[in-house]
Amino acid sequence: MKKIFLNLGRQPLANSFLKDISKKTIKREFFYNLKICFDTSNFLVSIQRPVNPKKQYTNEYAHRASESQTMRTAFKNIAFNLKKKFRPSTILEIGSNDGVFLKNFNPKKVIAVEPCKNLANITKKKFKTYPEFWNLKLSKKITKNKQRKIDLVFSANTISHIPNLKESLSSLYNVLSENGVIVIEDPSLLSILKNNSYDQFYDEHVYVFSAIAIKCLVKDYNLRLFDVDKISTHGGSLRYYICKNTAKYKSTSKLKKYLETEKKNNLNKFETYKKFSNRVKKSKKNLYELFKKIKRQNKKIISYGATYKSTTVFNYCKIDNKIFDYVTDTTKNKQGKFTPGTHIPIISPERGINETVDYAFLGAWNFKKEILKKEKERIKSGLKFITHVPYPRII
Ligand code: TMP
């Protein structure tokens, strides 16, 4: 049974940055109600009513996975490790974005699936690319003329975005070779609960997985979870290793231990989520009060990184251009646009990060280390960072 535990209110699409803020554009902006629920039968956390993916993954999709050094290095390392461990002769990536993972492989061995046409146009220059949504039809098309099925399916921050999880899983089974491995990375539910990072809930994260939920879910598709890695990307993620029931891989002790940790933290109980919801309400109140206090001192506050996460925070906490002068972001196609729902201008860091700024809110808190290192000199000359993770404070 699905039970709602968190209501993050009226939200826009997190990655739909506005080209202008004319009356006409604002009137057309899409909003939905972001409510999060827990399924007591399989421990799955999900959005109550997902948005139609055709509205989200358009040819104007803004997110570029290769935008940060942290992610470029993370994808390079995992590509190297997976090659060494499984020696795959065919690799399929679902949600290949701008090719940041695939570029570490021999293009002859690789297939990319990416429904956002602007991104698929980047990867198709080098790799066989299907500019389509992941589903049963596509999985059949991919394997139709193949002697062998796929040895390694990799998908980072994508499976959790696809509303039809059942079809998604049976399509994965469909393309997999007998001893093939599916490697999925997605934000970890336990990290979200520990970090109070409610901003990991937004329209694209239809599901937030845990190992106990994945273990339960894949069983219905003759698949088996056999290992898990804890990783630091996106503020704490999990990498799941899944194979066919009949494949040669044995369940690892690492997986057993991690499943126990999730149970010890009561991820299988609804009360845990109700408590989290109360912490989120408190975080909203405290963050808003912190900003108000700084504004009363006539200080200038900006936001650092126009992230999907900050869309959730701004709209839930009702933070707009009365608090922030602007948001800075390194991504060229976000610059000159406006934040979804709150309509704060986005400019380049070169223009926006200077001695007039007193405080910068870490919208991209998952890149805290990288950012604090980059801004070392500015911090020395007085710039202060604010974060809401795990609780609102000046760093
Ligand atoms: P994401 O968290 O939604 O993936 O996006 C991170 C955003 O933060 C992305 O648009 C790039 C931006 N960013 C900066 O503006 N400066 C930085 O130093 C880093 C690491 C990211």
Residue 142 neighbours by CB under 8 Å, 6+ apart? 92, 111, 113, 130, 150, 175
| C-alpha 251 to ligand 1 mean position (Å) | 36
Closest C-alpha to 203, from 315, 116, 100:
315
Confidence category of residue 343, pLDDT binned at 50, 70, 90? very high
Q: Which ligand 1 atom sits nearest the alpha carbon of residue 70?
A: 20
Q: Whose CA is nearest to atom 4 of ligand 1?
A: 307
Nearest C-alpha to atom 5 of ligand 1 is from which residue?
307
Query: What pLDDT does residue 97 have?
Result: 96
H-helix segments, 46-200: 53-56, 69-86, 117-123, 136-143, 165-175, 189-195
- What's the gap in Å between 329 CA and the centre of ligand 1? 6
Strand partners, 240: 184, 228
pLDDT tens, residue by residue, 229-252? 999 998 999 999 999 999 999 999
The pLDDT score that the predictor gives to residue 68 is 84
Which residues lie below 8 Å from residue 359, measured CB to CB, with a gap of 6+?
A: 294, 299, 300, 301, 302, 383, 384, 385, 386, 394
Residue 180 CA to residue 270 CA, distance in Å, equals 35
Distance (angstroms) between ligand 1 centre and the Cα of 190 equals 23
Does the structure show a pLDDT above 80 at 145? no
Question: Which pLDDT belongs to residue 67?
Answer: 83
Q: How much distance in Å is there from the Cα of 301 to the middle of ligand 1?
A: 18
Share of the chain above pLDDT 90, in %: 95
Q: What's the CA gap between 230 and 252, in Å, rounded?
A: 14
Give the closest residue (by CA) to ligand 1 atom 20.
68
Residue range 298-309: mean pLDDT, rounded: 97
Among protein residues, the one with the nearest Cα to ligand 1's atom 2 is 307
Tokens of 238: 């999990």
Which residues lie with the beta carbon below 6 Å from any ligand 1 atom? 63, 67-68, 305-309, 328-331, 334, 364, 366-367, 370-371, 374
Distance, CA 361 to ligand 1 centroid (Å)?
13
What b/e string do you get for 226-248 counting C-beta neighbours within 10 Å, with b at 16 or more?
bbbbebebbbbbbbbbbbbeebe
Q: What are 12-29's pLDDT values in tens digits? A: 999 999 999 999 999 999
Angle at 233 between CA 48 and CA 92, to 5 degrees: 80
Give CA–CA dist 132/290, Å, rounded.
44
Residue owning the nearest CA to atom 19 of ligand 1: 68
For ligand 1, atom 17, name the residue with the nearest CA.
371
With beta carbons less than 8 A apart as the criterion, state whether 347 and 328 touch. yes
Cα–ligand 1 centroid distance for 291 (angstroms): 22
374: Cα separation from own chain's centroid = 23
Residue pair 360/259 in contact (Cβ under 8 Å)? The answer is no
How far apart are the CA of 365 and the centre of ligand 1, in A? 9
Q: How far is the CA of 63 from the centre of ligand 1 (A)?
A: 9
Q: Which atom of ligand 1 is nearest to the CA of 363?
A: 8
Q: Return d(Cα 103, Cα 110) in angstroms, integer.
A: 9
10 Å Cβ neighbour count for 178?
12
For the chain, what percent of residues have pLDDT higher than 70? 100
pLDDT score at 63? 84
Tell me, in angstroms, the distance from the centre of ligand 1 to residue 175's CA: 33
Residue 175 pLDDT > 80, yes or no? yes
CA distance 302 to 310: 12
Ligand 1 mutation pick, 61, 63, 67, 313, max ligand atoms within 8 A of CB: 67
Mutate which of 68, 232, 303, 376 for ligand 1? The one with the most ligand atoms within 8 Å of its CB, which is 68
In this structure, the chain runs to a length of 395
In 3D space, the residue among 256, 120, 237 whose CA is nearest the CA of residue 185 turns out to be 237
Rounded to the nearest 5 degrees, what angle is found at the Cα of 78, between the Cα atoms of 111 and 210? Answer: 95
Same CATH fold, 44-267 and 2-37+271-394?
yes
Q: Which two tokens stand for residue 302?
A: 């900006």
Tell me how far apart the alpha carbons of residues 207 and 187 are, in angstroms, rounded to a whole number: 10
Q: Please, which pLDDT band fits residue 62 given cuts at 50, 70 and 90? A: confident
Helix axis angle, 165-175 relative to 136-143, nearest 10°?
Answer: 10
State the alpha helices, DSSP H only, in 107-252: 117-123, 136-143, 165-175, 189-195, 211-218
Average pLDDT score over residue span 305-318: 97
Candidate of 71, 329, 350 to mutate for ligand 1, largest count of ligand atoms within 8 Å of Cβ? 329
Does 100 score more than 80 pLDDT?
Answer: yes
> What gap in Å lies between CA 131 and CA 78, rounded to an integer?
24
In this structure, which residue's CA is closest to atom 6 in ligand 1?
307
Mean residue pLDDT across the chain: 96
The C-alpha atoms of residue 111 and residue 153 are separated, in whole angstroms, by 10
- For residue 329, the ligand 1 atom closest to its alpha carbon is 15
Could you report the per-residue pLDDT of 204-218, keeping only the tens digit for each? Answer: 999 999 999 999 999
User: In this predicted model, what pLDDT tens digit does every residue of 110-137 receive, in sequence order?
Assistant: 999 999 999 999 999 999 999 999 999 9
Tell which CATH classification among 1.10.3720.10, 1.25.40.20, 3.40.50.150, 2.30.42.10 matches the domain 44-267. Answer: 3.40.50.150
Q: Say how far apart CA 196 and CA 235 lie, in whole Å.
A: 11
Give residue 305 CA to ligand 1 midpoint distance, Å. 5
Indicate if the pLDDT at residue 105 is higher than 80: yes
Superfamily classification of domain 2-37+271-394: NAD(P)-binding Rossmann-like Domain (3.40.50.720)
Closest CA to 333 of 73, 155, 98, 76: 98
Report the pLDDT averaged over residues 146-155: 90
Taking CA atoms, 240 is separated from 171, 183, 188, 226, in Å, by 17, 6, 11, 8
Q: Measured in whole angstroms, how far is the alpha carbon of residue 295 from the centre of its chain? A: 31
Boundaries of every domain in the chain = 2-37+271-394, 44-267
- For residue 183, the CA-to-ligand 1 centroid distance in Å is 24
| Residue type, position 54, single letter | K
Residues 6+ apart with CB under 8 A from 37: 2, 3, 4, 5, 45, 46, 47, 48
